A = this chain, B = another copy of it.
Amino acid sequence: MDGEDECDHGASQLAEAYTNTQSCQTDILLMPRGQKRGRGLRAQSICPQLLEMVLHLQQTMEECFLQLMTRYRQQDLMLEEQRLNLQQRHSQVIYEQEALLIRLMSQLADILQSRSWSGLGLQLPPCSMDTGSNAGGGQGAHSPRHPDQIPPLLSEFKTAFVIHDLSSRGEDISDFYHSEFQAYNAYHGDKYHEDNNTLGFINLSTSENKLCIDLMTKRLSRSDMNYIEDALLQYCDWRGQPFLREEVARFLTYYCKAPVPLDPENVVALNGCCSVFSALATVLCDVGEVFLIPTPFYGGLAFSSRLYANIELFFVHLDSEITGENTRPFQLTVDKLEQGLHEARLKRKKVRGLVLINPQNPLGDIYSQDSLKEYLKFAERHKLHVIIDEIYMLSVFDKSTTFHSVLSMESLPDPNRTHVIWGTSKDFGISGFRFGTLYTRSKAVVTAMSAFGYLHSISGITQHKLCRLLQDRDWIDKVYLPTNWSRLREAHKYVTGKLKALKIPFLNRGSGFYIWINLKKYLDPCTFETELVLHHRFLDNKVMLSCGKSYMCKEPGWFRLVFADKPHRLKVAMHRFCEVLQEQKEELTVRLLEDAQKE
């Protein structure tokens, strides 16, 4: 390859620029990361701009090499692990290939069924293959098409799915999206409706609260919502409209019980909490650097990290078992955080922060004030940012449980590195509004985050409605919250009643819209493969649940079941759920009998 000379040439230039380098290229490239920009320079008179570039280059190279080394180490670890668990690994590989095949087949089926290919391939030459009359092809296509324009199905499929034209990351994202959202997209194309589509999907997978849409629709229909003024129709402050940030500050001060009024200048309002997380990950963490995160956790964070930010979430795996240290299942302790950090550093990861979700998703756990403080102190000790997602803070429906926001603390261990996320998607059941907000005392973070308003801003008219909503304490406190909590309690009671009848273990928590349930007894062997098979069985019976693997749970067999749906749908969904488990149980029994007969 002819790039070699230039490469050496550049390296020798670099070598000259530093006093503490030796003649060997590797030494230059592997300069310690602690080395600050501009330090240790021999040629002080060098043009500052050029110097900056060289330093930037050096930093980039360091990063490249660190990344590479990290990957090598991962390879080594993988190899070792593989030697140990070859059998297990092998079956997983086969399984994953199967899953890929199923996905591709399903994509093909989608195309054939949706006939969405009708608008494609107009430029394709006529083909001799007689596939134009293929069932599901030209017939019934929605868009008009000249008979001589019907392209061959195979070519068309190729034209539609030639993905070598995407960037590598584009391909990765596309693939990841397919695997994560296939069921979700199927649901959106075929939703259950009690009158029109009784065979459609019921979604107990996506965490939405559908219990108070009536109240919300009524509130949003009041005349104060439909105000329009010039500023709402034009570009705004990228941090969000000042009136909205002021209202968010007031709202959080009140509901988070902040000891002093929160400052609107510390608020950034974007179109959803995952947008906030994506932007935060970008401004706090460079590519390949990591945030610690306890598992199981909300998978949307993994997706958000991957689309743009390209950071790594380093898992601190929690166990379901109750032991000396664990007084409750999946308990987060500082020891585990310390251990996680240690492991990450052993693997040469640069750890930049800790991500917490409180109330936790999918567990429903609420951190005590003391635990919370300990986690924050752990982060402070290690100079880690803490991103804390409190998006379910007002969805604590159990009267005996009290939620404590980090914003309620009299003093934060490291206020400039503590960043709180909240939004209206969950607590007000309006995920379609696309609103998420950041509260941070770090002006540097606010400034850097503001830039992302350019890509994540909310329509002005929606910002107005949100402001009105957050302002209406009377309605929130007297109408919305009491009704919402009472309905959540009812739905929770109904579903947990069913679970108890089936003797299915679950975490009985009083927050969020979901229950973390253990279906291990329906899986034999209990692996992530059989977990996925059961997941697909639910889908086949038109009920969606999320499996534990989507939450990076270490142990197979766990599922998250969303109960915050209207009684009539919940009833049908639970019926379908029970049907699948009954079927699964019968199969297991038959297999047991067969095995017994063989012996």
Contact = CB atoms under 8 A, between A and B. Distances in A.
B348 A143 contact: no
A345 to B, nearest CB: 13
A578 interface: no
Given A30-B1, A116-B265, A233-B429, A53 B75 contact: yes
A114 interface: yes
A269 interface: no
Contact of A120 (B13, B30, B263, B352): B263
A328 interface: no
A238 B1 contact: no
A47 B6 contact: no
Interface of A is mostly: helix
A412 B10 contact: no
A448 interface: yes
Contact of A230 (B50, B143, B174, B213): B213
Given A307-B455, A454-B303, A235 B206 contact: yes
B165 A417 contact: yes
Nearest to A209: B234
A448 B173 contact: yes
Interface residues of A, number: 156
A310 to B, nearest CB: 8
A304 to B, nearest CB: 7
Contacts of A114: 265
A331 interface: no
B116 A168 contact: no
Contacts of A88: none
Contact of A283 (B119, B169, B188, B286): B169
Nearest to A236: B432
Nearest to A94: B48
Given A47-B89, A120-B263, A144-B260, A230 B210 contact: yes
Given A114-B265, A123-B411, A434 B447 contact: no
A185 interface: yes
Nearest to A11: B72
A452 interface: yes
29 contacts: A48-B93, A49-B89, A53-B75, A54-B75, A57-B68, A121-B415, A123-B412, A143-B260, A160-B444, A165-B284, A165-B417, A167-B282, A167-B289, A169-B283, A174-B444, A177-B448, A188-B236, A188-B237, A220-B228, A221-B226, A233-B430, A234-B431, A234-B432, A274-B454, A307-B451, A308-B309, A432-B460, A455-B456, A459-B462
Contacts of A47: 82, 89-90, 93
A165 to B, nearest CB: 6
Interface in A51-65: 53-54, 57, 59-61, 64-65
Contact of A176 (B188, B216, B451): B451
Nearest to A348: B3
Contact of A50 (B71, B78, B300): B78
A392 to B, nearest CB: 16
A395 interface: no
Contact of A7 (B72, B78, B448, B454): B72
A225 B169 CA distance: 39
Contact of A69 (B6, B226, B261, B271): B6
A278 interface: yes
A417 to B, nearest CB: 6
A295 interface: no
A482 to B, nearest CB: 20
Given A71-B60, A274-B455, A456-B456, A49 B96 contact: yes
Contacts of A78: 50, 53
Interface string A1-38: 10110110111010000000000001100111000000
A482 B118 CA distance: 35
Contacts of A167: 282-286, 289, 352
A486 interface: no
Contacts of A441: 119-121
Interface string A224-249: 01101011111111100000000000
Nearest to A435: B459
A443 B120 contact: yes
Nearest to A451: B177
B308 A455 contact: yes
Contacts of A303: 451, 454
Interface in A65-110: 65-69, 71-76, 78-79, 82, 89-90, 93, 96-97
A133 interface: no
B457 A307 contact: no
